[in-house]
């Protein structure tokens, strides 16, 4: 009997070793297929980030070798009035356009969730602006729509109302970009629609039995169960809004608009880096933007525990 036990032990040991060798071969194969991604991560993401971190402490004009200047770029940012103005414009843009975009997206998702005929067509049609909203062609089109000879003025002139170039007026130029961002509501709308489809119908049926109306069901069932989706869209759209560049660059022709009313932070960063060849200063600005976005994201995650409700 002891001999049989020893044979079984040896067989099990050999089986385990064979399985381990097979697992190691599978792991090597998996890493081999992932190698291009790791190479791209190092060369395209991590490498440039580390290089920009070094350049943030240098004076670099793209033509000469960077010279280390310590905290000179940071001190310059503290006293840079244009940087502070661009940051204020960007914060105003984010603070208005993101809530407006999410409200429009949620409203349309609630309408489409009612079982509208041709749902796939409407969903695709509403999602299309999100694919094109950051393109140069749409920005040029938007500039023409709100220009002196644009469609908006044509409608206002037909109604006998005063007209103006909305993109050339410092009081309205930023609002045209806010409307453009709100118009690209398709992506959060699709996510909201998917979240609405996950809410059990039994909750609404029970609420109806208790006498809850449409508003009551919306406030006490739909919105609380949708808060994780709202939180996800909020974080994602805030990050995207801080990175907005193409629209402001095209509509303002790269100048920041009238009286710098559309001077986004990313646009000012581009002007410093590729216009004035202050690449070291632009790198410092890029890292400041990263810290700002990270700070807003951290605040959202901290505040989420007070208003985000999960089904469990």
User: Does some domain include residue 27?
Assistant: yes
User: Does some domain include residue 158?
Assistant: yes
Counting the structural domains of the chain, the total is 2
Domain match, 132 and 277 both: yes
User: Does some domain include residue 71?
Assistant: no
Domain match, 132 and 230 both: yes
pLDDT per residue rounded down to tens, the chain (312 residues): 555 555 455 555 556 555 555 556 767 888 888 888 888 888 888 888 999 999 999 999 888 889 999 899 999 999 999 999 999 999 999 999 999 999 999 998 888 877 666 666 766 777 766 666 567 777 888 888 888 788 888 888 888 888 888 888 888 889 999 998 888 888 898 899 889 888 888 888 888 888 888 888 888 888 999 999 999 999 999 999 999 998 888 888 888 888 889 999 999 999 999 988 999 999 999 999 999 999 999 999 999 999 998 765
* Both structure tokens of 224: 């609380």
Domain match, 232 and 87 both: yes
171: CATH: 1.10.3720.10
Domain match, 137 and 24 both: no
Compute the distance between CA of residue 265 and CA of residue 173 in angstroms, rounded to an integer: 16
Distances (CA, A) of 119 to 116, 125, 230: 6, 10, 22
CA angle 175, 178, 182 (to 5 degrees): 140
Domain match, 148 and 201 both: yes
Buried b (16+ CB within 10 A) or exposed e, 91-126: eebbebbbebbbebbbebbbebbeeeeeeeeebeeb
Domain match, 105 and 174 both: yes
User: Does some domain include residue 60?
Assistant: no
User: Does some domain include residue 8?
Assistant: yes
Full-model pTM: 0.84
User: Does some domain include residue 289?
Assistant: yes
Closest CA to 196 of 172, 216, 222, 219: 222
pLDDT of residue 243: 92
pLDDT of residue 147: 80
Cβ within 8 Å of residue 55, ≥6 positions away:
66, 279, 280, 283
pLDDT of residue 17: 53
DSSP lists the bridge partners of residue 67 as: 59
pLDDT of residue 40: 87
Q: Residue 21: which domain range? A: 2-55
């Amino acid at each position: 009997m002891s001999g049989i036990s020893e044979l079984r032990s040896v067989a099990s040991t050999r089986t385990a070793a064979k399985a381990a060798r097979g697992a190691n071969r599978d792991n090597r194969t998996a890493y081999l297929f992932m190698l291009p991604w790791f190479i791209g991560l190092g060369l395209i993401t991590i490498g440039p980030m580390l290089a920009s971190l070094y350049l943030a402490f240098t004076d670099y004009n793209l033509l000469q070798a960077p010279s280390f200047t310590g905290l000179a770029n940071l001190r310059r940012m503290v006293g840079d009035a244009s940087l502070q103005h661009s940051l204020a414009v960007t914060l105003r843009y984010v603070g208005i356009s993101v809530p407006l975009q999410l409200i429009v997206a949620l409203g349309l998702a609630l309408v489409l969730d009612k079982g509208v005929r041709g749902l796939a067509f409407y969903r695709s049609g509403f999602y299309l602006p999100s694919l094109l909203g950051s393109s140069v062609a749409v920005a040029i089109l938007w500039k023409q729509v709100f220009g002196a000879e644009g469609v908006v003025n044509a409608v206002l002139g037909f109604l006998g109302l005063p007209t103006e170039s909305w993109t050339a007026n410092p009081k309205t130029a930023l609002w045209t970009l806010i409307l453009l961002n709100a118009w690209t509501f398709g992506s959060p709308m699709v996510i909201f629609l998917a979240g609405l489809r996950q809410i059990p119908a039994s909750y609404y049926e029970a609420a109806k039995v208790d006498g809850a109306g449409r508003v009551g069901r919306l406030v006490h069932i739909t919105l609380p169960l949708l808060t994780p989706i709202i939180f996800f869209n909020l974080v994602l759209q805030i990050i995207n809004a801080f990175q907005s560049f193409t629209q402001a660059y095209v509509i303002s022709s790269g100048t920041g608009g009238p009286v710098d009313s559309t001077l986004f932070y990313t646009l000012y960063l581009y002007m410093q880096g590729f216009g004035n060849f202050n690449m070291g200063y632009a790198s410092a600005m890029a890292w400041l933007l990263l810290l700002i976005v990270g700070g807003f994201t951290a605040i959202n995650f901290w505040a989420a525990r007070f208003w985000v409700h999960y089904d469990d």
